[in-house]
Structure 1
Amino acid sequence: MSTATPSAVTGSDADRPTDPDALPVDVLVIGAGFAGLCTAIQLSEDGVTDLVVVEKGHDVGGTWRDNTYPGAACDVPSQLYSFSFAPNDWSRSFSFQPEIHAYLQRVARESGVLDRFRFGTVVEDARWDDDAQRWLVTVAPVSPEATDATGTEPTTYAARVVVSGAGGLSEPKLPDIAGIDSFAGETFHSARWDHDVDLAGKRVAVIGTGASAIQIVPELQKVAGHLDVYQRTAPWVLPRHDRTYTLPERTALKHVPFLRDAYRTAIYWGRETYVPAFAWKPELALPAQRAALGNIRKAIKDPALREKVTPDFQIGCKRILISNAYYPALAADNTEVVTDRIERITPTGIVTADGTEREIDVLVVATGFHTTELPITERLTGRSGVRLSERWAESGMSAYKGTTVADFPNLFLLVGPNTGLGHSSMVFMIESQVAYVRDALAAMRAGGWGSVEVREEAEQHWSADLQRRMKRSVWSTGGCASWYLDKHGNNTTLWPRTTFSFRLALRHFDADAYRTMPGDAPGAPSPDNTAGDSAGTTHREVVTA
């Protein structure tokens, strides 16, 4: 650990931000999805009550609030895709979007933290004030009608700590196709579904064959007069082993905690057995690849269509998808799979490279999200005056333990670089990161530190080790080009190890990797709260899942 020389403003003066009109707050959280909600709940349990959560949407839920397209569901088992501290009475083994959103709403309501949330509020700018050791965060209502926003004008908070839970699946990515703005029919992204559009009997086109598209296509095929599916790369799709829980099962899981915990733990460790096939021995996934080929043969009898939908890369190189309905929908009489490159879009249809124009009434864009250039980084300016987006544009996304970045003191990124998973639950990763944030704040209080900033060499060593591990992973050797990779060819998205190794790495805040500045620490807990101790260590669940 190194302790920096105090700045010109120390002691009681450090409590005054440079902007005299800024509203002081200990912790400002960006986003109200799984990450932001978990942070608010866990910090409140530690006695950190001077906290505000800003959320551009109208409710908690994040991606599960926004993605309401037909068939939206999770591809991680329900028992694992939930907070360890908030079990739920799930109706089925893999949950659909409404049930997940309702779960998050219930957890938020019962936690008692909703009074600290500011909905309809967007972060316009956040910059570090080195003298005051605070983040000056300017927020504004998304619209004049945003009832939970702080007034109708921009407001600036002076936050000791900023925790970003904005996530990597928050900003839809639109395709760069000539003429897309000229289309005269209805157009919308899968994450911004327009439920007012009547699709019955319409000619509908879907661009994309990723995780959202394979859930949308079967639902559209049922109602559309004709459906065109534009495929650039065929995905690997495994059978979806989903079912509704029986009443006795639900009763047992709800009222027998030991059984529920054992079930969750078994699912967790079962998922961890997938890691070797992804991370260092891709040939172990050959049985899964054979199962995926069997999924194609079972549903599609036409040899030409089979060839179209059979991937030409190793399974796992791109995200593995699960569905029992996707291939039957592609084989239906009213569906056409188009693999020719899209040349342009006209007011009435889509023209492919072979010159064919297919007329449509509705265009659905299922082309994913900005995952390797997180949009929130364009609004985060560090100690040296450089935006995080600019820093990452030069060499790609990187963060120490996926959470902290040199030159950005007191900033913690949840679901940051190299924290994504191809096999298990992101909620597990989020809880691991939040535990690290809790311990960091406890250490700041115990050490009397006003700021902590990860050392450049620590961040570089961490990232270099991850990229070294990536070289033998299926994501690097599997023969595909995926959204996991950035423009430099680096995988800055996924975690190339087991999730329990990530949790172990983040079990304590390692102050030796940080530069610290003396000053007023954030959020002293209430006297009767035992979440922190004098060593700056938070008590937490000994996690098996």
Structure 2
Amino acid sequence: MRVRTMPSVVIIGTGFGGLGMAMELLRHGFDDLVILERASDVGGVWRENTYPGAGCDIPSPLYSYSYEPKSDWPKRFSGQPDIHAYLRDVARDNGLLERIRFESEVTEARFDDATGTWTVRTADGYETTTDVLISAVGQLSRPALPAIAGLGTFAGPAFHSAQWDHSVDLTGKRVAVVGTGASAIQFVPAIVPRVGALTLFQRSAAWVLPKPDVEYKPWHHRMFAAVPPVRLAERFAVWALCEFLSLGLVDVTAIRGVLTRIAVNHLRGQVADPELRAKLTPDYPAGCKRGLFSNTYYPALTQPHVRVETTEITEIVPTGVRTADGVLHEVDVIVYGTGFKGTEFLWPMAIRGANGRALEDEWQGGARAYHGITVPEFPNMFLVYGPNTNLGVGSIVYMIESQARYIRQAMQELSRHPAHTLEVRRAVAEDYDVKLRARLDRTPWGLCSSWYRNAAGRITNNWPGGVASYRWQTRTLRPERFHLKARATTTAGQ
């Protein structure tokens, strides 16, 4: 019987995580892989979020693969169309498109204890068996709508910013925007010039910092292409600044004070009206929620046809939004900028590991994983952009590259031991989680409610530090921290 030494792989998702994982494996000879994508195109959140003004708040020289540089970004902080185009180009140029099965939404993945393999099923009836399962669905793939009475009763167009209805013409319309998160910060300034009136319903104000954006000129592009060290220098400068700022989360809390002063001065410089300025001043410490960058958000809110409403919403009615003071705000369109279900990792996929263990049972109280990558009792299953790997400051692409390298090392370990499975030891995972919790308790994230925390108050999303410390911790896979188990049976022809 011939035993296959290169494990087969199924990757779920074609955002930065899925594409980056596939490229890492292909570069090291793991070519028995298929990528499952629920949509008809690659891109993840950069395919889905097409709202006006959509873009990234991390400079593109860093928010891109280190091994796939781009010398002709139009701006330092690129918009959604350019980032999506970049991912499409990367997928095409690296031969990934022919490995992707589009319009195949994974509904179930089940581990077979007898064969040591995973069976993956999709909504379109496709089924496949694989040695290794890698989820790269990310944390920001499912829009969250607020729990407001009468949500579905509004008679006019109503949609979430991540599902922007471009058929709705906002020109001259009365628009209600519910939420003041990262998306609203971007789309509100983009739509204000054409709406008739806009009411922004704000539950809590955001800390907003000035955005040091620049438009790259043709000479920039020529220089970046001809002299790569210049491009690398800019990438390193951004990386170093993010690492410095991340120290403010736990180790050098004085940095938070500096950022607070910058944000307060930014608000004062752009909003002259003291009443409006008071509404836009956060009542929680800087860093507790995601910090935002914009030079246009505050000016948009000072326009005469824009109003910021801080009274709590009690219900949605057919003609508009009613607040706790009894006022009915009549509008033509409602846009929800209320973020994503970031703490519901992998849901609604049904994942069952060894002995039929359900992932939702393993994650009672909140998602957790060793290095955010692997979970006890789920052999040969790995996560990209899993629990506690999101960043308060920095580029998630850098984190994804660290995770991809670590998972590739696990694949190499499996190649050295054909017909085996790899599973993190529970004691190792629990010890890691205890230490992680201790650092998370020192961050400002527990001081207010945000999408970083689940209903039980557990911080499930963020990494409490800089990317360098994570890269250091995941630089080498330690086989002794895993169970390496021989499969009970093997399949002929493997």
Same fold (TM over 0.5): yes
Report the counterpart of residue 119 of structure 2 in structure 1: 136
1:29 aligns to 2:14 (yes or no) = no
1:54 is matched with 36
Structure 2: how far apart are the matches of 1:348 and 1:52? 48
Q: Does 1:290 align with 2:261?
A: yes
- Residue 377 of structure 1 deviates from its aligned partner by 6.1
Q: Hey, what does 1:4 align to over in structure 2?
A: none
**Unaligned stretches of 5+ residues in structure 1:** 1-10, 16-23, 142-153, 523-545
Q: Which amino acid aligns with 1:56?
A: R
What is the rounded CA distance, in whole Å, between the counterparts of 1:134 and 1:375 in structure 2? 19
Amino acid at match of 1:410: N
Q: Does structure 2 conserve the Cα–Cα contact (< 8 Å) formed by 1:281 and 1:473?
A: no
Percent of matched pairs sharing the same residue: 43
Residue in structure 1 matching 2:484, options 472, 494, 516? 516
Summarize the alignment of residues 111-126 of structure 1 with structure 2, pairs less than 5 Å apart.
Answer: 111-126=94-109
1: distance between equivalents of 2:314 and 2:286?
Answer: 29
Name stretches of at least 5 consecutive residues in structure 2 with no aligned partner.
Answer: none
| Paired residues of 2:207 and 2:286 also in contact (CA < 8 A) | yes
* Alignment of 1:78 onto 2:60: yes
Q: What is the aligned counterpart of 2:359 among 382, 388, 391?
A: 388
Matched, 1:253 2:224: yes
**Residue of structure 1 in register with 2:328 after alignment:** 357
Report if aligned partners of 2:107, 2:349 keep a CA contact under 8 Å in 1.
Answer: no
* Alpha-carbon distance in 1 for matches of 2:286, 2:490: 48
Residue 177 of structure 1 aligns to which amino acid in structure 2?
I
Give distance in 1, aligned partners of 2:123 and 2:153.
32
- Equivalent AA in structure 2 for residue 304 of structure 1: E
Pick the aligned partner of 2:140 from 160, 169, 172. Answer: 169
Secondary structure of the structure 2 residue equivalent to 1:135? strand
Output the CA distance in 1 between the equivalents of 2:360 and 2:83: 31
Is 1:408 the counterpart of 2:408? The answer is: no
Alpha-carbon distance in 2 for matches of 1:325, 1:255: 34
Instruction: Please give the alpha-carbon distance, in whole angstroms, between the structure 1 residues aligned to 2:362 and 2:146.
Output: 25
Superposition deviation, residue 518 in structure 1 = 2.3
2:212 is aligned with 1:241:
yes
Q: State the alpha-carbon separation in 1 of the partners of residues 393 and 172 from structure 2.
A: 38
User: Could you tell me whether the CA contact under 8 Å between 2:186 and 2:297 is conserved in 1?
Assistant: yes
Aligned residues: 488
Structure 2 residue 332 is matched with structure 1 residue 332: no
For the residue of structure 2 that corresponds to 1:227, the secondary structure is strand
Shift of 1:92: 1.0
Alpha-carbon spacing, 1:281–1:377, altered in 2? closer, same or farther (3 Å):
farther
Map of 1:503 onto structure 2: 471
> Helix, strand or coil for the counterpart of 2:362?
helix
Following TM superposition, the consecutive aligned residue runs of length 4 or more in structure 1 with deviations greater than 3 angstroms are: 375-378, 519-522
Residue 274 of structure 1 is matched in structure 2 by 245
Distance 1:179 1:377, change over 3 A: closer
Aligned counterparts of 1:521 and 1:71: Cα–Cα separation in 2: 53
Contact 2:7-2:414 within 8 A present in 1 as well: no
One-letter code aligned to 2:426: E
Give TM-score, length-normalised by structure 1.
0.87
| Greater CA drift, 271-280 or 63-72 | 271-280
What is the TM-score with the length of structure 2 in the denominator? Answer: 0.96
Partners in 2 of 1:513 and 1:495 — Cα distance? 21
DSSP-derived class of the 1:508 partner? coil
Q: Which amino acid aligns with 1:76?
A: I
Deviation at 1:448, TM superposition (A): 3.1
- The residue type equivalent to 2:143 in the other structure is P
Shift of residue 426, structure 1, vs aligned partner? 0.2
Tell me: CA distance 1:167–1:222, structure 2 relative to 1, closer, same or farther (3 Å): same
Q: Distance in 2 between matches of 1:303 and 1:257?
A: 48
- Check 1:213–1:75 CA distance in 2 against 1; reply closer, same or farther (3 A cut): same
Distance in 2, Cα, partners of 1:227 & 1:81: 32
Contact 2:406 2:474 in 1 (8 A): yes
After TM superposition, list the pairs within 5 Å mapping 1:107-506 onto structure 2: 107-141=90-124, 154-376=125-347, 378-392=349-363, 394-448=364-418, 450-476=420-446, 479-506=447-474
Local SS of the residue matching 1:138? strand
